[in-house]
């Protein structure tokens, strides 16, 4: 059979191209250090590797989220720690202010000191992270959450949004605590109501006032304001609702007894005198800022008050609410600490999973270099042989046989 020159050149070119591709393929394996580069190398292993790579990519994403969540929660934990110190300073100032030997000037100094503490607290509540975002504004991170009004009160301008980051397949961790939950929603120390004393010559005080029967309470007259009046005898007590209806009366009130009406239980401390009167109104929560403002006002009343009994009642109420505020802030700090513990634990789990997945991927994907080098040398020799053969054969002609 005759072989034309064109056919010979074509066949030789195809053969050398195949051998060159073999060499390049082996070089790709050696340079990458991988045994499986495409699905044609090993279809089953390639599919398994895709699963490993996807899981490892997810772990990297989770680790980035963990770092971000740790940063946010750590910053809030530090802020709450500083707030604890401020509230403790305010409490110490209140305890010092209750010393009867202090002058008006001394009390004003303590009031000024407490006002500075309020300014520090406001600054902490408006803390920003490294990106300039307000950490207590909820979703409105560009909105300053707290502002002080001309009367000294503090208002919240953020929202109730809690941001979350996914740190594992089925685990999301909050990255923030909102300003209203952190500073505006402290449990009222006496329960579900606040007390406003009109006349208090005996030092009687509301020790607790709580809704105990919600069904009865919800059907009672609105608004839920109740006026307690003692007299004409010291043992007589009448309770009127906001509409003026008598909801409780007794001619034999005993100090410390629980007064029950409209699904509410109220316990008083002290021995009331005829003419004493006060009103309770719904207030389940008190802001930290309001409590400090009340402490300042109490100090600024001076060392001599025209209503000493009520002055002491107010002092006790403020101190109790300060204690409630401190407990509340500590619980907020504990929440941040718990989140950080969860994040640390999850980080360790991801490291263990990453090690296991990387090992499994390596067993399938990593190249056997000794075998690969041998195959590379074989491919290179085959290419060289085809090149030498072509060089010799293409130089032959009839003159070689004459």
Helix (H) / strand (E) element for 278: namely: strand 277-282
pLDDT at 251: 85
β-sheet bridge partners, residue 266: 209, 259
**In the β-sheet with 237-240, what is the strand arrangement from edge to edge?**
193-199, 277-282, 225-230, 237-240, 246-250
Determine contact, residues 177/76, Cβ cutoff 8 Å: yes
State the sign of the Cα–Cα–Cα–Cα dihedral 13, 18, 23, 24. positive
Domain ranges of the chain: 34-188+285-366, 193-283
Summarize pLDDT for 132-158 with one digit per residue, the tens. 999 999 999 999 999 999 999 999 999
Summarize pLDDT for 261-272 with one digit per residue, the tens. 999 999 999 999
Summarize pLDDT for 54-84 with one digit per residue, the tens. 888 999 999 999 999 999 999 999 999 999 9
Q: Which fold has domain 34-188+285-366?
A: f41 fragment of flagellin, N-terminal domain (1.20.1330)
Token pair listed for 93: 């100032």
The helix-helix angle for 369-393 and 5-32 (nearest 10°) equals 160
Residues 135, 163: Cα–Cα separation, whole Å = 11
Helix (H) / strand (E) element for 301: namely: none
The DSSP secondary structure of 314-338, one letter per residue, reads HHHHHHHHHHHHHHHHHHHHHHHHH
- Helix (H, G, I), strand (E, B), or coil: what is residue 203? coil
With a pLDDT cut of 90, the percent of the chain lying above it is: 63
Token pair listed for 352: 């263990």
Q: What is the pTM of this model?
A: 0.80
Q: What does residue 367 show for φ and ψ, rounded to 5 degrees?
A: -85, 140
Token pair listed for 275: 């003419």
Chain centroid to Cα 251, Å, comes to 53
- Any idea what DSSP says for residue 398? G
Residues 253, 239: Cα–Cα separation, whole Å = 12
Which one, of 199, 154, 182, 185, lies nearest residue 283 by Cα? 185
Q: What does residue 203 show for φ and ψ, rounded to 5 degrees?
A: 90, 20
Token pair listed for 379: 């491919």
pLDDT in tens, the chain (402 residues): 455 555 545 555 555 555 555 555 555 555 555 655 555 555 555 566 667 778 889 999 999 999 999 999 999 999 999 999 999 999 999 999 998 888 999 999 999 999 999 999 999 999 999 999 999 999 999 999 999 999 999 999 999 999 999 999 899 999 999 999 999 999 999 999 999 999 999 999 999 999 999 999 999 999 999 999 998 765 589 999 999 999 999 888 888 889 999 999 999 999 998 999 999 999 999 999 999 999 999 999 876 656 789 999 999 999 999 999 999 999 999 999 999 999 999 999 998 888 887 777 666 665 545 565 655 556 556 556 555 555 555 554 545 555
Residues 109, 81: Cα–Cα separation, whole Å = 25
Helix (H) / strand (E) element for 17: namely: helix 5-32
């Amino acid at each position: 059979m005759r072989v034309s020159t064109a056919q010979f050149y074509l066949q030789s070119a195809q053969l050398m191209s195949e051998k060159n591709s073999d060499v390049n393929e082996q070089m790709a394996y050696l340079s990458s250090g991988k045994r499986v580069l495409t699905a044609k190398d090993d279809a089953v292993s390639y599919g398994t590797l895709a699963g490993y790579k996807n899981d490892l990519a997810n772990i990297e994403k989770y680790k980035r989220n963990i770092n971000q969540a740790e940063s946010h929660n750590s910053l809030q934990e530090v802020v709450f720690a500083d707030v604890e110190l401020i509230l403790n300073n305010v409490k110490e100032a209140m305890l010092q202010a209750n010393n009867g030997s202090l002058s008006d000037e001394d009390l004003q100094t303590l009031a000024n000191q407490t006002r500075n503490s309020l300014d520090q607290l406001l600054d902490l509540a408006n803390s920003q992270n490294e990106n300039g975002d307000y950490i207590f504004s909820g979703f409105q991170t560009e909105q300053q959450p707290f502002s002080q009004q001309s009367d000294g009160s503090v208002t919240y301008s953020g929202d109730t949004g809690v941001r979350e980051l996914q740190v594992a397949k089925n685990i999301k961790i909050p990255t923030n605590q909102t300003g209203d939950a952190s500073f505006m929603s402290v449990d009222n120390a006496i329960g579900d109501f606040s007390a406003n004393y009109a006349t208090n010559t005996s030092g009687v005080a509301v020790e607790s006032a709580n809704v105990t029967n919600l069904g009865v309470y919800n059907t009672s007259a609105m608004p839920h304001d109740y006026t307690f009046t003692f007299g004409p005898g010291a043992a007589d007590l009448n309770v009127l609702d906001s509409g003026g209806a008598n909801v409780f009366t007794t001619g034999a009130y005993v100090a410390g007894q629980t007064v029950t009406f409209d699904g509410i239980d109220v316990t008083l401390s002290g021995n009331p005198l005829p003419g004493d009167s006060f009103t309770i109104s719904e207030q389940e929560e008190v802001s930290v800022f309001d409590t400090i403002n009340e402490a300042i006002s109490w100090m600024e009343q001076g060392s001599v008050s025209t209503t000493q009994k009520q002055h002491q009642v107010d002092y006790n109420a403020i101190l109790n609410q300060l204690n409630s505020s401190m407990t509340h802030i500590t619980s907020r700090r504990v929440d941040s600490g718990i989140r950080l513990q969860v994040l640390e634990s999850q980080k360790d789990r991801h490291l263990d999973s990453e090690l296991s997945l990387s090992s499994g991927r390596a067993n399938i994907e990593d190249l056997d270099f000794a075998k690969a080098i041998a195959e590379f040398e074989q491919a290179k020799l085959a290419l060289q042989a085809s090149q030498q053969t072509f060089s010799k054969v293409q130089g032959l002609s009839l003159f070689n046989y004459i």
